[in-house]
Amino acid sequence: MNIKKEQIVTPWQVSGEIDYEKLISQFGTTKLTEKLKKDLENKTKSKKLHLFFRRNFIYSHRDFNKIVENIENNNFYIYTGRGPSGKMHIGHLISFITAKWFQDEFGCNVYIMLSDDEKYLISKKLNLEEINKISIQNFEEIAAIGFDPDKTFFFKNTEYISKMYKTALKFAKRTNLSTAKAIFGFNNETNLGHIFYTMIQIVPTTFERDKYCLIPAGIDQDPYWRIQRDISEKLNFKKVTAIHNKLLSPIQGINGKMSSSNENSAIFLDDDEKTIKNKINKYAFSGGKPTLEEHRKYGGIPEIDVCYNWLNILFEEEDNKINEIYKNYKTGKLTSGELKKILIEKIILFIKKHKENKEKNKKDLNKYMYSGKLAKQMWEK
Amino acid sequence: MNIKKEQIVTPWQVSGEIDYEKLISQFGTTKLTEKLKKDLENKTKSKKLHLFFRRNFIYSHRDFNKIVENIENNNFYIYTGRGPSGKMHIGHLISFITAKWFQDEFGCNVYIMLSDDEKYLISKKLNLEEINKISIQNFEEIAAIGFDPDKTFFFKNTEYISKMYKTALKFAKRTNLSTAKAIFGFNNETNLGHIFYTMIQIVPTTFERDKYCLIPAGIDQDPYWRIQRDISEKLNFKKVTAIHNKLLSPIQGINGKMSSSNENSAIFLDDDEKTIKNKINKYAFSGGKPTLEEHRKYGGIPEIDVCYNWLNILFEEEDNKINEIYKNYKTGKLTSGELKKILIEKIILFIKKHKENKEKNKKDLNKYMYSGKLAKQMWEK
């Protein structure tokens, strides 16, 4: 008998084996077609799609065709964000890397929310002062991505609430408890702040009224956008558009979502070389065979191998190299140990570069938050 | 058979015959004793209690003894407010008149909230721009009361949210849906903004952490203070204290609460003389007898007469005069028509003076909101 653990995917919980096809039908989103990706590629400056598109890591969308159709008219902006609950791991960078790619290719504005209110409201132990410290640390990590300081606005909700509250009220007036319960799974134990926060997360989808807002985010965040899309046009705002990436798996297996709560399931942005080596060697779920002899004879299963998957979606940029790795692993030519070594080197390089960028870009944080061209506009609104 | 309409008293609905004794036990508040009133009187500058205390219009409290005990140490401040849903009537002034009396007697700070967010969230037709216009008009009426411009702060929630949001989050984190449903009667149709608003209304009870906050308000507002008193000490804030006035009745009868939704049930602050005369003469519920002959013979019933009640709690300052009116009406010496005439003259004078004060005090509105000593402190926080 084969009992699958029930799939639960909400903004606050991801558990069970995730069936991404099923999520598309469950959430009512649209699968990203090769045709739409080709259209996007044709309009890029670099004439090349980002890895996330090429490897089907970004795989689902809402109205992304509207963005692609008029992309040359600078008809959109990007909105994404992070809940500052602790230090960041590599999985937390996915949306920011995607945002940066769009900004480089098309020159669009990027808005990044730090939902310090949400994290305070759902945390069992952190107070607002602790969350504030984490927020600044997180902003420094995100600044490392290297956004354009005049086209990017970083904001914390408890600080930027003054400019968001009225719009939140407009959505809140039109969202009743029964809708919120159905979409977010709230119950009698849910606190009043958490319930209202869902409206705050919607507000930046209205920051540029004349343009489309495109959200690159994990598909687990989709419930928010469903409410926005139900209400926005009644308020003369455009329906938000979105592209959904799959979730970066934990080290222990290709299912689920990398989580900070299990230190050994994630590679953190401040991990040192030794820690990285140790985590991958010790915990990375392998698709290889138990003995070298069997592996050489029957080959490994790249599809269920965490190292292969991480290389595929995040660390091996070259299409021919990843194809070679796939083939060699599948035929048993490449061992699990060798595959781990390739991944470890890539991660170490990635983290090293990230740390350098973090130091280099710290000076821009004030621009992103207050003094850059876009940030200034947003505070003067 | 005598069927009483069921008594319903919430911040948004007052219906049925109101039994004020029953409300005390229903809400769990304390009856104001003659002893406590005497203690208060002894500490006043004027050595005289305000009409509202003398005539038992303010009749219930929570921890008011804590205020009285240390009142000479300036140990408290006043917080009250108004929901700006339309033009104001005389019933809307009760809390402000009370606040002004405390400020005159004891020099305390006064904070006045205009809950424009709440009124937007529960209004079926008004948008935020319309509510904003009403807010300014309402502030002008309240400014007519003549508060000390350096000890009084007027604020609108949509504007002052920047300074209130964090504290609202602290209370919201500790209030779950089941508590909010039980205390406010929320259900699945309630919108998310209205639910969260209850937390905003609590915030000013924490404005001066070292002092007691005293709220003069209708007893219908008490549910908010119950939540505050349950949570505040966990957050190192003092429990809020309150004095509760009865509700000013509509013109049509001494039960219920004067309401703006029925134009003829209320005396509005901009009513002209003719309108006032007409409303009282035509609609004021009388405790007199059907014919003059019967009235002279049996006398009237002041207790159920709206004119007598309004004179008693709002318009006839002199104790000996109101006693005379009571006696003469009860014995039939004073007719219903004569009683109406006395009230009409008092109201006309009251409204005339109010309009003059409104013009005179308009210049202070900016001080109350932004530039007065207290307002400045509150914005610089």
- The stretch A336-349 carries a mean pLDDT of 98
**What is the pLDDT, as a whole number, of residue A192?**
98
- pLDDT for residue A73 is more than 80: yes
- pLDDT for residue B20 is more than 60: yes
Residue type, A197: Y
Which chain A residues are Cβ-neighbours of B166 within 8 angstroms? 128, 158
> Tens digit of pLDDT for each residue in B187-213?
999 999 999 999 999 999 999 999 999
Residue of B135, B155, B177, B199 for testing the chain A interface, max A β-carbons within 10 Å: B177
- pLDDT for residue B2 is more than 80: no
**Model pTM score:** 0.93
DSSP-derived 3-state class of residue B31? strand
Which chain B residues are Cβ-neighbours of A176 within 8 angstroms? 188-192
Which is nearest to A75 in space by CA: A212, A238, A214?
A: A212
Indicate the burial class of A42 (C-beta count within 10 angstroms; 0-12, 13-18, 19 or more). Answer: exposed
> Tens digit of pLDDT for each residue in A258-307?
888 888 999 999 999 999 999 999 999 999 999 999 999 999 999 999 99
First and final C-alpha spacing in chain B: 60
d(CA B169, CA A264): 32
**What is the pLDDT, as a whole number, of residue A2?**
46
> Tens digit of pLDDT for each residue in B311-341?
999 999 999 999 999 999 999 999 999 999 9
- Kindly state the helix (H) or strand (E) to which residue B349 belongs, with its residue range: helix B336-361
- The stretch B166-193 carries a mean pLDDT of 96
A132 touches chain B (CB under 8 A): no
B188 and A175: CB-CB below 8 Å? no
Q: What percent of chain A is modeled with pLDDT above 90?
A: 86
Residue with token string 């219920």: B256
**What is the pLDDT, as a whole number, of residue A5?**
61
> Tens digit of pLDDT for each residue in B58-93?
999 999 999 999 898 899 999 999 999 999 999 999
Of A161, A188, A199, the CB nearest to B161: A161
A119 vs B5, higher pLDDT: A119
Domains and CATH numbers, chain B: 8-251 (3.40.50.620), 263-358 (1.10.240.10)
Distance from CA of B165 to the nearest CA of A (A): 7
* CB neighbour list of residue B222: distance below 8 Å, 6 or more residues apart: B27, B29, B62, B242, B244
B191 and A173: CB-CB below 8 Å? yes
Q: Give the dihedral sign, CA A183/A185/A189/A191.
A: negative
Task: State residue B154 phi and psi, 5-degree precision.
Answer: -100, 130
- pLDDT for residue A141 is more than 50: yes
Q: Are A90 and A269 in contact (CB under 8 A)?
A: yes
Q: Give the side-chain half-sphere CA count within 13 A for A79.
A: 22
Q: Are A238 and A213 in contact (CB under 8 A)?
A: yes
Query: B293: pLDDT confidence band, cut at 50, 70 and 90?
Result: very high
A199 and B192: CB-CB below 8 Å? yes
A168 touches chain B (CB under 8 A): yes
**What is the pLDDT, as a whole number, of residue B220?**
81
Mark which residues 29-88 of B lie under 8 Å from A by CB.
Answer: none
**What is the pLDDT, as a whole number, of residue A6?**
67
Which chain B residues are Cβ-neighbours of A181 within 8 angstroms? 188
Which is nearest to B343 in space by CA: B302, B381, B366, B310?
A: B310
B192 and A178: CB-CB below 8 Å? no
